[in-house]
Chains A and B, each alone.
Chain A
């Protein structure tokens, strides 16, 4: 299928099945996910823990291969051109840690080098992200000595250093305080303004309401519903996103309420 330049991220029938080591049972982590993300918009993947959000993002970033189906990022096939896919993306999550024995500046320069930035261009980009994220006061400090918020700013700097057209955020505010979360969300909003294609995975409803232009509700590896936040509420016939989500994933309380 020819690449539509507006379809920066496209998945078609994406599946990932694992075989559980102990029981040898097949676990369908992702079971036929199809969606499209476009530049200047934030695409949300909303689901509970274990719904398959991270597995989708890991397949899109070529860390793992799909069992079936496929995906394209920036026009490159995740199976045929994994290096080109990786050169097109920035990935950030609270689990993508930094090297504790390198300084913030060294981490940023290291990743800049791995993305092919060299010489004057590398210096300029490092200066830009340092200024942009106010890293000056701790850029020469070892990452092990940084606060969680400072680490998160360094992670953002690492993600945007080489100016990728596609950005994946996998629960980027998990474990962060309200101030650090605010910085991350402002950064994601700016990505949209700058015309980036953003895929944002979360289970926090308020973040979805604030950031996402288009949302896919994923549960048990399957997309249960898709559309804007208003569309989801309409589909579920609920006033709040939280209740809509619970209805769409057919939530059944495990807590026995006394009658």
Chain B
């Protein structure tokens, strides 16, 4: 059997027996994606429904209060505007409505008191605004109809939605699209992190490395075996996010209807694309982790270096969450930024917008970086002053 494969098999066996690895590389990614989707799904469902919106109303005989109640808003009454303002200051009310009697033109002024810094108040206000808007539109339509004027006369400009289908069509919900690429990329790195400090630096510290170095196996083969084992853990950990997503889709917990309204977005083509861009990224991460671990004197030093590198990986991964807010995702330079390019390709795959060239560029960038980091790792492993640093 090839010595590199023997090292690989032994490393994997050791890793799987480590409770920390099982937890951080497999259990946590599954639970995290499931938990986040459950939480966000629940929140989105709650936010969208009027019955979950608390509206505080200054006592009046306005029929709008009944309209709010009929529309299932959670309506509470207070005696005065001053009391309402105090409740807002105390954080006990989000939106306070003071409904004034109709003026001579028949218009009812509703004063909306809220804290502009409080996002939830703004959301409640916009839902109330939507309800009143519908009412206004209905009134306008009735007036126009009574006077024999067409409804279009009140709308000099009308914007009509005409969606253009790009790529496969369909695609995952916005939250999944922004969350999943980030988590897949992040776990490809952090899944291997818990092991990286042990795999070489830990062996130096525990004095097992010397036992390995005096075997006839070439050092390059030792590095290769360790690299493959770490890459396996990184990849499995990263794909655990997809397992978490599948679990969420299968269980369909409360709030999932909102999250999964466009489906998972993981079509066979998307899955293949994710794998194609992920494998070279994982190779890059694993070789980077091995290089740092080889350089470090002991596990503690390795962890210090790795946490710094963690920042460098996390930054572009975080940026990937904002790809949808700008046209950044369609710009060519993104394909040459490590980590960000992988997240962008995964995002496009989930949206069903896979195109070949960005994927090729992403794969090439990751492969070049993986080759460079692996070469450094092998060189470090062949330097006795590095291996003897204990």
Q: Given A97-B206, A97-B208, A102-B10, do A61 and B1 touch, yes or no (CB 8 Å)?
A: no
Chain B residues whose C-beta falls within 8 Å of the C-beta of A99 in the assembled complex: 10, 14, 208
A89 vs B10: C-alpha distance when bound (angstroms):
22
Pairwise interchain contact B208-A62, C-beta atoms closer than 8 A: no
Q: Cβ of B210 and Cβ of A63 under 8 Å apart?
A: yes
Q: What's the Cα separation between A12 and B1 when bound, in Å? A: 37
Q: Is A125 an interface residue (CB 8 A)?
A: no
- CA A102 – CA B388 in complex, angstroms? 24
Binds A, one of B182-190, B211-219, B269-277: B211-219
A101:B17 contact, CB within 8 angstroms: yes
Residues in B with CB closer than 8 Å to A100 are 206
CB within 8 A of B10: which of A58, A110, A115?
A: A110
A175 part of interface (Cβ distance < 8 Å): no
Assembly CA distance A148 to B7 (angstroms): 25
Q: Are B3 and A114 in contact (CB under 8 A)?
A: yes
Is there an interface contact between A65 and B384, defined as CB atoms closer than 8 Å?
yes
Output the nearest chain A residue to B219 by Cβ-Cβ distance: A82
Closest-by-CB residue of A relative to B15 is A101
Contact mask A86-123 → B, CB, 8 Å, 1/0? 11010100011111111000100011011110100000
Residues of chain B contacted by A98 (CB below 8 angstroms): 208, 211
Q: Chain B residues near A58: list those with CB within 8 A.
A: 210
CB atoms of B1 and A113 under 8 A apart? yes
- Measured CB to CB, the nearest residue on chain A to B198 is A101
Bound complex: CA A110 to CA B7 (Å): 8
The answer to whether the Cβ of A205 comes within 8 Å of any Cβ in the partner chain is: no
Tell me the residues in window 51-72 of chain A with beta carbons closer than 8 Å to chain B beta carbons.
58, 61-65
Report if A97-B207 is in contact (Cβ < 8 Å); known contacts: A63-B384, A106-B13, A114-B3: yes
Q: Which of B14, B18, B214, B388 meets A61, CB within 8 Å?
A: B214
Q: In the bound complex, do residue A115 and residue B216 qualify as a contact, i.e. CB atoms below 8 Å apart?
A: yes
How long is the Cα–Cα vector from A97 to B216 in the complex, in angstroms?
18
Whether B6 sits at the interface, judged by CB under 8 Å, is yes
Which A residue's beta carbon lies closest to that of B3?
A114
Given the interface contacts A95-B207, A110-B6, A113-B6, does A102 sit within 8 Å of B215 by beta carbon? no
1/0 contact string of B6-24 vs chain A (CB within 8 Å): 1100100110011000000
A194 CB contacts on chain B under 8 angstroms: none
**Complex CA distance for A41 and B321, rounded to whole angstroms:** 70
Residues of B within 8 A of A95 (CB): 207, 210
**Is A49 interfacial (CB 8 A cutoff)?**
no
The docked-state distance in angstroms from the alpha carbon of A86 to that of B217 is: 9
Determine whether the beta carbon of A83 is less than 8 Å from that of B216. Answer: yes
A114 touches B208 (CB 8 A): no
Nearest Cβ on chain A to B267's Cβ, whole angstroms: 40
Most buried by B among A96, A113, A114: A114
Closest chain B CB from A166 CB (angstroms): 12
B interface residue numbers (CB < 8 A to A):
1, 3, 6-7, 10, 13-14, 17-18, 206-208, 210-218, 384, 387-388
Listed from nearest, the 10 A-B pairs whose CB atoms lie closest are A87-B216, A114-B215, A97-B207, A101-B17, A96-B211, A86-B216, A64-B384, A61-B214, A101-B14, A113-B6
